[in-house]
Amino acid sequence: MLTETAYAKVNLALHVRARRPDGYHELESLFAFCADGDILMAAPRDDGALTLAITGPFGAELGSGDDNLVLRTAAALREAAGVGTGAALTLDKRLPIASGIGGGSADAAAALRLLVRLWGIRPPDIDLFAIAERLGADVPACLGSQTVFGTGVGERLHAVDLDTGGRPILLVNPLRPCPTGPVFRGWDGVDRGPLDPAAWAEGRNDLQSPAVALVPAIAGVLDALEGLPHASLIRMSGSGATCFALFETDAARDDAATALRAVHPDWWIWPSELR
């Protein structure tokens, strides 16, 4: 049994620049990744079957049929690599579903990394990035799970050298549905300017306003984070509803998590650190 972490994705900044004719949006985003996330496990199956069991606190919200992104990823990789062996996969779903932190995309990327090892595929012999790009806009960034600047729909990735590794972070989600499509459709179409990756703390998330309009509970999360001592940056990630705050020390982050849990026991509150 091999194991791989599907690292939670955080958009430290996300600028929406334009709507495209194909319905997608031109974006500029600084992707960062937490040290924790969902856990994916796999063992080989000699009968060639691909199976998926789902556990964890958010496992009941996902189906394990062929349309599950993890199984679609496994099938795409096996076809591209010409592998005959199957896999028994288990997903420990620890991140909320459709929450703006790349849960599904991170799971797909973790499946690629995990199955390359399980099936003994040589990375030089296959274009993993091309497979990732076909699976979803965030999957290429999640494949490396390192801080990176993304443009296009998020698939054009540019290396950045930022001192964010090890930075304590607190993720908070009100556990309210926040569908991506309506959030993007709620963007007002105003280009508020480019994102400078070196000045990401001065950036913004252009999806925050339409997400709050769709799910007002997000505003409550942001207000609660703003009221925490020692929180240095408060912002929503992706299309929501997860928001985050950065801290200088683990102790300050953990104290903040304890304080929030006492007041909001119905929220998902998750301390971690950036990779």
CATH of the domain at 117: 3.30.230.10
106 shares its domain with 177: no
Tell whether 67 and 106 lie within a shared domain.
yes
Of the candidates 39, 41, 141, which has an alpha carbon nearest to the alpha carbon of residue 89? Answer: 41
The residue annotated as part of the active site, out of 36, 38, 92, 138, is 138
Final residue in a domain of this structure, among 134, 158, 182: 158
228 close to 259: Cβ distance less than 8 angstroms: yes
Domain that holds residue 125: 2-158
pLDDT of the residue at 123: 83
If you count them, how many residues does the chain have?
275
Residue 180 within a domain: yes
203 and 259 inside one domain:
yes
Residues 127 and 188 in one domain: no
Catalytic residue selected from 9, 38, 92, 206: 9
Q: Strand locations in the chain, DSSP E? A: 2-19, 25-45, 50-55, 86-92, 148-152, 156-159, 168-173, 233-236, 243-246, 268-273
- Active-site residue, 93 included: no
Boundary residue ending a domain (127, 158, 189):
158
Same domain, 64 and 120: yes
CB 267 within 8 A of CB 260: yes
Q: Based on the domain organization, do 184 and 247 belong to the same domain?
A: yes
pTM of the model: 0.96
Whether 51 maps to a domain, the answer reads yes
**Ordered per-residue pLDDT tens for the chain, 275 residues:** 999 999 999 999 999 999 999 989 999 999 999 999 999 999 999 999 999 999 999 999 999 999 999 999 999 999 999 999 999 999 999 999 999 999 999 999 999 999 999 999 998 889 999 999 999 999 999 999 999 999 999 999 999 999 999 999 999 999 998 999 999 999 999 999 999 999 999 999 999 999 999 999 999 999 999 999 999 999 999 999 999 999 999 999 999 999 999 999 999 999 999 99
Predicted pLDDT of residue 76: 98
The pLDDT of residue 125 is: 86
Closest by CA position to 135, among listed 157, 104, 114:
104
